[in-house]
Structure 1
Amino acid sequence: MSRTRRDINDLYRAVWRWHFYAGLIAIPFLILLAVTGALYLFKDEVEHWWYADTLRVEAQSAQPISAQAQLDAALATQPGEAFRYVTPAAPDLAAEVDIRTAGGEKRAVYVDPYSGEVTGILPYRGSVMWTIRHLHSLNYFGTTASLLIEIVAGWTILLVLTGLYLWWPRGQRGGVVTVRSRPSKRLFWRDLHAVLGVFVGGFILFLAVTGMPWSTVWGSKVNELANGNNFGYPDGVRVNVPMSDARLAERELTPWSLEQARLPASTASDIPPIGLDGAVARFDALGLAPGYAVSLPGGASDVYTGSIYPDDLSQQRVVHLDQYTGDTLLDMRYADYGPLGQTLEWGVNVHLGQEFGIANQIVLAAACAGIVLLCVASGVMWWMRRPAGRLGVPPAPHDPRKLRGVLALLAIGGVIFPLVGASMIAMALVDAGIRRWSARPTTQAAS
């Protein structure tokens, strides 16, 4: 074998070996993320069907009763302290009043806006689709578990890039865009894995990259950097008003660009507060899209916050009102975000299946199905290839420097994503141990 040919084979082995490691780490999570992500794409459709008796009401031509009357009806059924009111997004949907009970639990109470009748009570953000969302992000298992998502996203990017190198045609005619053989043969599963990887690899990369803003370490640090000095508001909308130390994310689910946003403060006054009805009237006059949420003031210096994050990014909006005068203290729209914020918000919106309507949902759902089949094909292929009783790690290159070269390229990604880099260092140490252990019998035999 020529030296050039051996170098090529060694590089292929090095890439294959790390592709295998990336698969071991990422594939179990990819299946979970693909299944839960595909389900969450249809969040509204599923919840409006699952909780139809609670969320849906009969649309009427009569005017709804006041927001305060709806809130009072909710409190009469579920005593506690109301902290959020959500206007109906459509004439046939109930309003939502979120209440903190005396025991500290949070409940979402749904009210018919025409009659004031309570249609149902659910745990606050505890519906079936919120559970799916928590599973998708691993928040269901605590903060430590959610760190794994960031690590998995980095290894997934590595998995796709190394897979593309392994797929790249090197004179072969089959297994590039067509599948050969039969399901009983390993060649069938190898080709299926390779072809599927090419078709869904771009989707995997997109979903991994657009999911990074939610990550615990990298996402939060980039968020602080993007917002400048941890201030949080998009450039150009800062105004000279008193500010509190509270953050918008502490009272409402926010877009990525506003997670660090500080809340303005109401100026204490002798005049009475405008109340929920006054705040709703003001938000309606300002043109917030139907379905906006109103975070209620909990103290003398708090504000009324109206927020809406609909499928149409151009209608994203957050407005803060002085609770006494009703003056607009801050009014933020998608157009006010900087270029980085707009790009990331667009990516997140597509990631959630919202930007392009039902087509967005169908295409991503098909991609998720392809990801699951891709993972299954890799598992079957590995099972049919591995030696009995062994893990079946691909062979190491004859020249260890080829592994060092691959590791040097991986280090670039490790610098961008430090948590991923730390996991790669740990994997490199494990790989060094595996290679030493595998070489021991050969050394002993030679001696």
Structure 2
Amino acid sequence: MTSLLVNASRTAARKRPNMRSLRTWAGIHRWTSIISTLFLLILSLTGLPLIFQKEIDEAFGSSGMLAEVPESKGAPTLDSIVSAALARHPGDTMISLEFAKRWPIVETRSAPTPDAGPTRIHREAIDLRTGQLTTMPQRRSPVMQFLHTLHADLYLGLPGGLFLAGTALVVIASVVSGLILYPPFVRRFGFGTVRTNKSRKLLWLDLHNLTGIITMAWLLLVATTGAINTLHGPVSTSVRTAMSDEIRRRVVMTQAGRMEEVDRPGSIEAAIAAARGKVPAARVMSLLFPNAEISPSNHYVVLMKDGQMMTQELFYAVLIDAHTGGVSDVFEPTGVTKALLIAEPLHFPTTFPGLAPKLVWAFFDIVTIMVLVSGLYLWASKPGGRIQRKRSAK
């Protein structure tokens, strides 16, 4: 008898910490879910139409397509486009060429001096097919732009983005705690059990558990990459600053005797061709002229983004000697910065080709909304909750 009592007490002692641990995780899950539900619901509802942004804009005639142009003898060269832009603004010096991702358009930026403020810069969008002035199409329709900004930073800029990054960390804690709480339920009732013959509350609880476990991996992915995306601006600024310092340091080390400014830099076409020769799969984002932004006084800097699906946010800076047109050096992000930039595209279904990824994202987005709605119902139906109080009043 004594041995039975001893064994029973030992068993109880072993179970009590587990029960205390589960209660702790249940509290973590409850409060992290309550804190993040409203904002996660906003992100889920705004994210759903953004998944099909292109299709929706095309359906309502807001796809941002360029008008077709008749075939001509040949497209103008970048050098002639720059010459024409400078002729329209006498006394200016060219600062940079910015290449649109979706359209055959380049934006020229010129100013009286390379360090002129934003208000003194002349910006012109040029159609690369004709060399004529054009208007840069809107990337998104006004409705989609509203949803995108609300989704990205709640219309609060960087503080809003950082707040959503903090919310994403709370969501991750909610998902992890839910994952810890689900195995005891599985051991007792089986995976995916939905008790339809019990009370309505138990039915909602089972649906909440099932939909939550279905979306677990996807929600961890989008929450983590969403938090990373809010750091895109600061990370890009940091990378450009570090890259500028490194470029100037290396140029001083290797070209110490040739730091004089270049009155007439070499061919722009040749500079871009040289950069593409070094990073063949990359897309040209912009070309910075000597003495502009991060460029030293005797070099072009060609900024490029990787053309591969999973590394499309990695960017390179190719340093082109304005005297000779040769490549002096190639720079790319390293370490943690590189990892952050690689992770960013995983947030978007458009990273992957075809309609199937969008449908998968939409499915998980809708199921996530179901998780949130069921969680709100369970919270409201708890003793002391809103639904419970109404029933008691009756």
Taking structure 2 as the reference length, what is the TM-score of the superposition? 0.68
Q: Which residue of 2 aligns with 1:377?
A: 374
Q: Which residue of 1 aligns with 2:78?
A: 67
Aligned positions, number: 355
The CA deviation at 1:85 is: 3.2
The CA deviation at 1:272 is: 1.4
The CA deviation at 1:22 is: 0.3
1:331 aligns with 2:341: no
User: Which runs of 5 or more residues in structure 2 are unaligned?
Assistant: 1-8, 112-116, 390-394
1:23 aligns with 2:36: no
The CA deviation at 1:198 is: 0.7
1:308 aligns with 2:324: no
Q: Is the 8 A contact 2:94 2:289 kept in 1?
A: no
Q: 1:85 aligns with which of 94, 97, 112?
A: 97
* Distance of 1:341 and 1:212 partners within structure 2: 14
Q: Which residue of 1 aligns with 2:359?
A: 362
User: Which runs of 5 or more residues in structure 1 are unaligned?
Assistant: 244-265, 393-447
Which amino acid is 1:365 matched to? Answer: A
Q: Which residue of 2 aligns with 1:396?
A: none
1:137 aligns with 2:152: yes
The CA deviation at 1:25 is: 1.7
Q: 1:351 aligns with which of 347, 351, 354?
A: 347
Superposition map of 1:87-126 within 5 A: 87=99, 93-97=103-107, 99=109, 104=119, 110-121=125-136
Match of 1:268, SS state, is coil
Match of 1:357, SS state, is coil
- Sequence identity, in percent? 21
Do the aligned partners of residues 89 and 212 (structure 1) sit closer, same or farther apart at CA in structure 2, a change above 3 Å counting?
Answer: closer
Do the aligned partners of residues 53 and 360 (structure 1) sit closer, same or farther apart at CA in structure 2, a change above 3 Å counting?
Answer: closer
The CA deviation at 1:100 is: 8.1
Which amino acid is 1:136 matched to? Answer: H
Q: Is the 8 A contact 1:273 1:325 kept in 2?
A: no
Which amino acid is 2:367 matched to? Answer: G
Q: Which residue of 2 aligns with 1:280?
A: 272
Do the aligned partners of residues 232 and 45 (structure 1) sit closer, same or farther apart at CA in structure 2, a change above 3 Å counting?
Answer: farther
Q: Which residue of 2 aligns with 1:205?
A: 220
The CA deviation at 1:350 is: 2.1
Do the aligned partners of residues 27 and 99 (structure 1) sit closer, same or farther apart at CA in structure 2, a change above 3 Å counting?
Answer: farther
Q: Is the 8 A contact 1:317 1:331 kept in 2?
A: no
CA deviation profile, 1:224-262 (whole Å, cap 9, x unmatched)? 8xx9xx9569x9x9994239xxxxxxxxxxxxxxxxxxx
The CA deviation at 1:196 is: 1.2
1:294 aligns with 2:310: no
Match of 2:349, SS state, is coil
CA deviation profile, 1:206-239 (whole Å, cap 9, x unmatched)? 223334444559x96xx98xx9xx9569x9x999
Q: Is the 8 A contact 2:106 2:128 kept in 1?
A: no
The CA deviation at 1:16 is: 1.6
Q: Is the 8 A contact 2:166 2:227 kept in 1?
A: no
Q: Which residue of 2 aligns with 1:151?
A: 166
Which amino acid is 1:85 matched to? Answer: L
Superposition map of 1:223-242 within 5 A: 231=242, 240-242=250-252
* Distance of 1:125 and 1:104 partners within structure 2: 25
Structure 1 or 2, whichever has the larger Rg, is: 2
**Aligned-pair RMSD on alpha carbons?**
4.8
Q: Which residue of 2 aligns with 1:250?
A: none
Which amino acid is 2:260 matched to? Answer: A
Q: Which residue of 1 aligns with 2:188?
A: 172
Do the aligned partners of residues 320 and 140 (structure 1) sit closer, same or farther apart at CA in structure 2, a change above 3 Å counting?
Answer: farther
Q: Is the 8 A contact 2:262 2:290 kept in 1?
A: no
The CA deviation at 1:39 is: 4.7
Match of 2:204, SS state, is helix
Q: Is the 8 A contact 1:55 1:119 kept in 2?
A: no
